[in-house]
């Protein structure tokens, strides 16, 4: 009689107890997970959303914004490519895409230094760090070579030469990184994450050599007679100089400062992640955007002809005369002799009628020939002397007087 109610009471007492256990377990799981992350997130990716480790969220946001801007620049360059008519601006388009691809890889590699390390992540870090920087520095070196040729000679190398040089220079770092991984991981059977900071830096010596050569090459882009390309060289110089400063700072922190402050393991990943983000933004602001802007600008239009410039008129007339194979003096004399010949004929007709002779004889009482002969030349004789007009002197820049010095004497003869 009393057992059944007791069992029912025990059952009702167990259910609230189980519910309390579930709530306590959920609360303990929430307490064990990081603030800002979900329950089903793997511990490896906690740094991507952990509000306590604020550096990871900030670096992640800045890297994501840089990746979006890089993709936008690639899209703009791809859309505007058919409208680029200048051959000197079309040649480095593939090199621009290659440089933007390397910059995008730097922003993507930043996330590998935010998440927790394992064998795969460490291998990716060791291989892609040097390769991506080698790609960017090789593109900068090719651009410096191109701008130097433009400043000095006005023409740049072909596009395939620029891209081929950048890829060949990058291939050297690919070989170095592959050999480092093979010798340390496969042959010595060491974990991929078991490497010293000095070993990591020593594997990047080739990148440093490329950076120094690019800096030296960019200095020569400021010397040349074609000044319109010197702005591109100035931006390359600024980009490489800032990259040198970034590399000096991060290597100092990574090798010495972190160990001195006893923060080697805690600050190593933030140091490398911030280096990638800072380098990527320097590449975008000081090289990618100016180069793409210069590429998309329309070509310079030629100056319209100045009709008031006598030198241009002289050049056109000289070219026309050379094509016609006629001397200039003959053409001018022929042009001016048409009207003057008609005037000479009319004057000769007046002499033949005797009108001028009658007036002279009536007034002086002498013959016309004796009164006019010897003092002044006759009208037919003066018509054969070349007399340039004021318009001819102005249009020819005063060269008519030099070509026909007797014309001034003819003016005084009258």
Q: How confident is the prediction along the chain (414 residues), in pLDDT tens digits per residue?
A: 344 444 444 545 544 454 444 444 444 444 345 565 766 677 777 777 777 678 888 999 999 999 999 999 999 999 988 888 888 888 899 999 999 999 999 999 999 998 888 888 999 999 999 999 999 999 999 999 999 999 988 888 888 999 999 999 999 999 999 999 998 888 777 888 888 889 999 999 999 999 999 999 999 988 878 888 889 899 999 999 999 999 999 999 999 887 777 766 778 888 999 999 999 999 999 999 999 988 887 765 544 445 444 544 444 544 444 445 444 444 444 444 455 555 555 555 554 455 444 444 444 444 444 444 444 445 444 445 555 566 655 566 555 444 454 444 444 444
Backbone conformation region of residue 143, classed left if phi is above 0, alpha if psi is from -120 to 50, else beta: alpha
CATH architecture of 35-295: Up-down Bundle (1.20)
pLDDT of residue 143: 94
Contact 271, 253 (CB under 8 A): yes
Q: How big is the chain by its Cα radius of gyration, in Å?
A: 44
Backbone conformation region of residue 354, classed left if phi is above 0, alpha if psi is from -120 to 50, else beta: left
Domain ranges of the chain: 35-295, 310-413
Angle of the 205-219 helix axis to the 159-181 helix axis, nearest 10 = 160
Instruction: Give, for 215, the enclosing helix (H) or strand (E).
Output: helix 205-219
Burial tier of 365 (Cβ tally within 10 Å: 0-12, 13-18, 19+): exposed
Q: How far apart are CA 404 and CA 400, in angstroms?
A: 6
pLDDT of residue 300: 58
Distance of CA 389 to CAs 5, 164, 344, 397, Å? 138, 66, 17, 13
pLDDT of residue 312: 47
Find the angle CA(280)-CA(284)-CA(287) to the nearest 5 degrees: 120
Contact 169, 138 (CB under 8 A): yes
What is the number of H-type helices and E-type strands within the chain?
20, 0
């Amino acid at each position: 009689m009393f057992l059944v109610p007791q069992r029912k009471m025990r059952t009702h007492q167990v259910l609230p107890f189980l519910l309390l256990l579930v709530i306590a377990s959920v609360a303990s799981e929430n307490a064990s997970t990081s603030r800002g992350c979900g329950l089903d997130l793997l511990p490896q990716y906690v740094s991507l959303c952990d509000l306590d480790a604020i550096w990871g969220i900030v670096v992640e946001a800045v890297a994501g914004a840089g990746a979006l801007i890089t993709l936008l620049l690639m899209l703009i360059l791809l859309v505007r490519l058919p409208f680029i008519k200048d051959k000197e601006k079309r040649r480095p388009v593939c090199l621009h895409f290659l440089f933007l691809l390397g910059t995008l890889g730097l922003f993507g590699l930043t996330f590998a230094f935010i998440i927790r390390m394992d064998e795969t992540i460490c291998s990716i870090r060791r291989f892609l760090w040097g390769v991506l920087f080698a790609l960017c520095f090789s593109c900068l070196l090719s651009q410096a070579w191109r701008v130097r040729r433009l400043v000095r000679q006005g023409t740049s190398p072909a596009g395939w030469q620029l891209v081929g040089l950048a890829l060949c220079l990058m291939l050297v770092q690919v070989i170095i990184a592959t050999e480092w991984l093979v010798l340390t991981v496969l042959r010595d059977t060491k974990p991929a994450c078991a490497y010293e900071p000095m070993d990591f830096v020593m594997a990047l010596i080739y990148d440093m050599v490329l950076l120094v050569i690019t800096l030296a090459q960019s200095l020569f882009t400021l010397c040349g007679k074609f000044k319109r390309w010197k702005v591109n060289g100035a931006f390359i110089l600024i980009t490489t100089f800032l990259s040198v400063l970034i590399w000096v700072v991060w290597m100092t922190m990574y090798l010495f400062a972190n160990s001195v402050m006893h923060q080697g393991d805690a600050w190593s990943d933030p140091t490398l992640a911030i280096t990638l983000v800072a380098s990527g933004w320097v590449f975008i602001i000081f090289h990618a955007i100016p180069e793409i802007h210069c590429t998309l600008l329309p070509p310079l239009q030629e100056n319209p002809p100045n009709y008031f410039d006598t030198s241009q008129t002289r050049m056109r007339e000289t070219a026309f005369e050379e094509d016609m194979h006629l001397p200039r003096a003959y053409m001018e004399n022929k042009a001016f002799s048409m009207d003057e010949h008609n005037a000479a004929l009319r004057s000769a007709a007046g002499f033949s009628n005797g009108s001028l002779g009658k007036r002279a004889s009536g007034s002086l009482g002498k013959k016309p020939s004796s009164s006019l002969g010897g003092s002044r030349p006759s009208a037919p004789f003066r018509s054969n002397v070349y007399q340039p007009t004021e318009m001819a002197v102005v249009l020819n820049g005063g060269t008519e007087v030099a070509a026909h010095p007797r014309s001034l004497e003819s003016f005084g003869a009258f």
